[in-house]
Amino acid sequence: MATIEQDVDQLTEQRFRRMSYVGGGALPPVDMTGLPPGPRWPVLVQSAGLLRFRHWFHPYLHRRYGDVFTVRLVPGGRPLVFFTRPEHAKEIFAGDPEVFHAGKANAILGPIMGEHSLLLQDSGEHKRARKLLMPAFNGHALRGYESLVTDLARAEVGRWRPGSEIRALDRMNALTLEVILRVVFGVTDEARLAELRPRVNATVDISPAVLLGWGYPRLQRFGPWKRTVANQHELDRLIYAEIRERREAPDLEQRTDVLSRLILARDGEVGSDALDDTELRDQLVTLLLAGHETTATALAWSLFELGRHPDLLARSREAARTGDDAWLDAVLKESMRLHPVIPMVVRTLMEPATVGGWSLPAGTTVGPSIIISHGREDNHPDPEVFRPERFLGHNPPTNTWIPFGGGVRRCIGAGFSLMEGVAVLREVLTAYAVTAVGEDRPRVRNITSVPRRGARIRLSE
């Protein structure tokens, strides 16, 4: 009889085989004639430019080819057509979800997230999963999470020392990981937390080369790809063990963490159609990858920018002291605008469609460039200036600020991320003033962009 560990290993191996985005014939061949202009470089060079050098690549293509341009990517030179105007983003976000599939466009994440991930599902499956997850992220639930987030932030800040210099990214990553493990996963056992932390960090801290390699099973026997697969086996064992134990918890119905809510979630009045263990695992890993480093990076850039602007720092510290959460929310949103963590939002066309006046064939991937949308002068005057007032009392025009995507697929954790960010800024700025140390710029880590030097700041009381 197979052991539980063997069963989990089998599930992990099956996921890596089944979710390979290379081959499989899931999408039809694409007629390349008539597509918007783009570079004629080798496909591998274009793929590397998009993954590794995105903060140079997007603006270069925009200057060279205009508001709409095509990039060809591995495998097979499949086209990705970028759109950069808000009216284009509106068309894509409002597109028929039966035609504009997000799951296939995010297939590179499949081996880690799994086929049940909210980011990878489409049509009826996506609608069902979103319905089951939504109650765990509504306003009432967020208010329940806030006090625990605040306690974790206060404990983190309590370990800092005046006069010290820290890498804000490192400390914010540690804090948001703790939030994910305790508030989302609901883990309280210190031994389990100690096992999970390094496995989660190894999942997040990977290079674009490893991302590309997930699609090639032969590579998984070598070097960083082999280590990635081994780490996934260990992380899956821990997550499945937590799920099994949680199902048997006598206080399950009284618990308020996200995992416990998802175990109890039902689709329909008859109380059927619950999430099984594999579905729960996939959604937990999705929430982990989508909500851990993204929020940490936004917070790190927020503190770094405040450390460069004494007037904004003074106003923010006053807001933290007086409970002016609207201003702290504006600081966080402006950080997300000026320093996009994710470069684009993508959909794959399952049928021919017209976007931005271009007739595009089935199989084409389309999407707005977040990097260009957030940096356009006509969307955000003086786009290189850190100016939280843009978000005070109002938001910029629709579809010009899109860190969470849009339409029916807008990030389900957007409210959680903003709540968490405001709570953390409140605790940090109540305790300390910050001064930016040196300069910083983005670098690519997995699918996200983070401060290259870690957003170094010096603390003072």
Tell me the per-residue pLDDT of 33-88, one tens digit each, with 9 for 90 and over. Answer: 899 999 999 999 999 899 889 999 999 999 999 999 999 998 789 999 999 999 99
Tell me the per-residue pLDDT of 100-123, one tens digit each, with 9 for 90 and over. Answer: 999 877 887 888 899 999 999 998
State if pTM tops 0.75.
yes
Count of structural domains within the chain:
1
Residue at token pair 């940090």? 428
Q: What is the structure's pLDDT at 378?
A: 96
Q: Which residues contact 179 (CB under 8 A, 6 or more apart)?
A: 148, 149, 152, 420
DSSP string, 117-177: -TTT--HHHHHHHHHHHGGGGSHHHHHHHHHHHHHHHHHHHHT--TT-EEEHHHHHHHHHH
Q: What is the pLDDT confidence band of residue 25, given thresholds at 50, 70 and 90?
A: very low
Asked whether residue 23 carries a pLDDT value surpassing 60, the answer given is: no
Q: How far is CA 291 from CA 131, 178, 185, 198, in A?
A: 19, 12, 12, 17
Q: What is the structure's pLDDT at 39?
A: 97
Q: What is the pLDDT confidence band of residue 27, given thresholds at 50, 70 and 90?
A: low
Q: Which residues contact 374 (CB under 8 A, 6 or more apart)?
A: 337, 338, 340, 380, 383, 400, 401, 402, 403
Q: What is the structure's pLDDT at 21?
A: 61
Looking at every residue in the chain, the average pLDDT score rounds to: 92
CATH of the domain at 447: 1.10.630.10
Q: Which domain holds residue 49?
A: 4-460
Rg from Cα positions in the chain: 22
Tell me the per-residue pLDDT of 376-433, one tens digit each, with 9 for 90 and over. Answer: 999 999 999 999 999 998 889 999 999 999 999 999 999 999 999 999 999 999 999 9
Distance CA 457, CA 233 (A): 37
Q: What is the structure's pLDDT at 214?
A: 67
**Around Cβ 71, how many Cβ atoms within 10 Å?**
23
* 426 touches 325 (CB < 8 A): yes
Tell me the per-residue pLDDT of 254-274, one tens digit each, with 9 for 90 and over. Answer: 999 999 999 999 876 444 578
Residue 369 gets which letter from DSSP?
B
Tell me the per-residue pLDDT of 355-383, one tens digit each, with 9 for 90 and over. Answer: 999 999 999 999 999 999 999 999 999 99
Q: What is the pLDDT confidence band of residue 219, given thresholds at 50, 70 and 90?
A: confident
Distance CA 265, CA 273 (A): 9
Q: Which two tokens stand for residue 218?
A: 């032969």
**Strands of the sheet with 347-349, listed across from one edge:** 68-73, 78-83, 365-368, 347-349, 100-101
Asked whether residue 189 carries a pLDDT value surpassing 60, the answer given is: yes
**Strands of the sheet with 433-436, listed across from one edge:** 165-167, 456-460, 433-436
* Ranges 169-178, 225-234, 264-273: which has the least confidence: 264-273
Q: What is the pLDDT confidence band of residue 26, given thresholds at 50, 70 and 90?
A: low
Residue 276 φ then ψ, to 5°: -85, 180
| Terminal CA-CA length for the chain | 61
Distance CA 319, CA 317 (A): 5
Tell me the per-residue pLDDT of 284-338, one tens digit each, with 9 for 90 and over. Answer: 999 988 889 999 999 999 999 999 999 999 999 999 999 999 999 999 999 999 9
